[in-house]
Amino acid sequence: MSLALHVNVDHVATLRQARGTRYPDPVEAALQAERAGADGITVHLREDRRHIQERDVRVLREVVRGTYNLEMAASDDGLRIALAVRPDHVTLVPERREERTTEGGLEVAGARASLAKVIAPLQAAGIKVSLFIAPDLAQIDASAALGVEQVELHTGEYAEAALRAHALEALRSGAAHAHAAGLRVAAGHGLNVANVAAIAAIDAVVELNIGHAIVADAVFEGFAGAVRAMREAMDRGRAGL
Ligand code: PXP
């Protein structure tokens, strides 16, 4: 199976919002990322609008040629925007205002009714739904039972763990379990050129969502160079090199 790279351009917007300017524009980053080989573009419209704005979400729908993935909380506000914009995928993520980034996966099993209320209208509009979860078998089973098309396994613990082997094993078995349950399997969070290979090597994973490290590398290498370097690191990992 091939492995798609979806570039998350949130932190281009972080730099713009830091000064309230019109630059740098995440839309321009998305265009460059796709020209450099990205298969899709991801943005997270946070409730506090700390980086991506509604304008970005709308304009990106006009320009993204590959898969356009909107990450959002399972809220009425998020649902309204997603139904108006119609991204290809919506990834439902947990959100807490005080967090620095998305710190954990969704608690799917305990929130089935409230998630179903958001999932049903998205799917009825032809939008594929992905749930961002920890590589935990109970969360995977609960996601499959909700009838979503995809899960995205949270790689944050793997990226940060001093003892990586354990976190990697959880991702490997979680990916195989989700694939066997008929789910498409994505992964992401905290991935960079140095740690991506082992995740790219997991057969059942068909999509990676990567943002912060690409934007950070772009400061020194340019956006296209950073995307190409990530693509190469993924391809080496997939090939087992
Ligand atoms: N996937 C999801 C669901 C996320 O919420 C994020 C962070 O917004 C990412 C992937 C990308 O994480 P990072 O910016 O650490 O690459």
3-state secondary structure of 167: helix
| pLDDT (0 to 100) of residue 97 | 67
Low pLDDT (below 70) residues in the chain: 97-98, 102
195 C-alpha vs ligand 1 centroid, how far in Å?
Answer: 15
Please tell me if the CB atom of residue 10 comes closer than 6 angstroms to any atom of ligand 1: yes
Please tell me if the CB atom of residue 156 comes closer than 6 angstroms to any atom of ligand 1: no
Tell me the C-alpha to C-alpha distance, in Å, between residue 30 and each of 6, 7, 60, 85, 217: 10, 8, 8, 17, 15
pLDDT tens per residue, range 21-42: 999 999 999 999 999 999 999 9
Topology (CATH) of 4-238: TIM Barrel (3.20.20)
pTM of the model: 0.96
119 C-alpha vs ligand 1 centroid, how far in Å?
Answer: 20
Q: Which atom of ligand 1 is nearest to the CA of 44?
A: 8
